[in-house]
């Protein structure tokens, strides 16, 4: 089984408000990515919240997904990835692959996820500009390494450490993520 973890625990410090709840195309940033993940029909969806969890949870109430809260989200992205993977594996069995998605890449769609899943590589990541990153798909041999992440070091560490195991797929829109109010206004202007 392939599962999808949506990482949405951050405090949006540069934005000054919960980016998860920013309105976008009739939903919110988090609502859109969660709906996309569910509608992809790839597998179960787990949303990992942290900061603003109580404010954000109601926005997910009508969606068919599991929601978990990382109470130690302040420890950094690595901690949230490790927590999300551990929780997913606690809830679901027979998991062979896990997607890691973030809520502030608004142009992720089901087609992209299916194209990634079709690549038979131990790790699949997206390429944009001179970077590789999320969405990313990890096979079971890497779950323990994801669970061992700590601090601010996220899953990108595995992408660089295991370069020879990573297949990439072009996703130029992946460069668009929402970290500041300027980023958000530019997104709405598109």
- pLDDT digit string, tens, across residues 83-134: 999 999 999 999 999 999 999 999 999 999 999 999 989 999 999 988 899 9
Whether pLDDT at 164 is above 90: yes
Q: Sketch the domain layout of the chain as residue ranges.
A: 2-189
pLDDT band at 190 (very low <50, low <70, confident <90, very high): confident
pLDDT band at 13 (very low <50, low <70, confident <90, very high): confident
Tell me yes or no: is domain 2-189 CATH 3.40.50.11750.
Answer: no
Closest alpha carbon to 80 in 47, 44, 32: 47
88: β partners: none
Closest alpha carbon to 99 in 37, 19, 177: 37
Closest alpha carbon to 7 in 68, 54, 91: 68
pLDDT (mean) for 24-40: 94
d(CA 67, CA 5) in angstroms, rounded, equals: 10
pLDDT band at 68 (very low <50, low <70, confident <90, very high): very high
């Amino acid at each position: 089984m392939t599962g999808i973890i949506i990482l949405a625990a951050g405090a949006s410090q540069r934005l000054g408000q919960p980016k998860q709840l920013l309105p976008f195309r009739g939903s919110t940033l988090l609502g859109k990515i969660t709906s996309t993940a569910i509608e992809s029909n790839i597998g179960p969806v787990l949303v990992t919240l942290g900061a603003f969890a109580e404010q954000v949870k109601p926005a997910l109430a009508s969606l068919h997904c599991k929601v978990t809260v990382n109470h130690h989200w302040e420890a950094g992205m690595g901690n949230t990835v490790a927590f999300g993977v551990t929780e997913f594996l606690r809830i679901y069995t027979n998991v062979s692959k896990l997607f890691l998605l973030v809520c502030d890449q608004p142009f992720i769609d089901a087609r992209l996820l299916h194209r990634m899943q079709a690549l038979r590589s131990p790790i699949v990541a997206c390429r944009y500009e001179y970077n590789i990153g999320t969405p990313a798909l990890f096979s079971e041999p890497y779950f323990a390494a994801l669970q061992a992440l700590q601090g601010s070091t996220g899953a990108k560490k595995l992408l660089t450490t295991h370069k020879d195991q990573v297949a990439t797929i072009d996703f130029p829109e992946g460069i668009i993520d929402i970290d500041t109010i300027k980023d958000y206004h530019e997104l709405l202007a598109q």
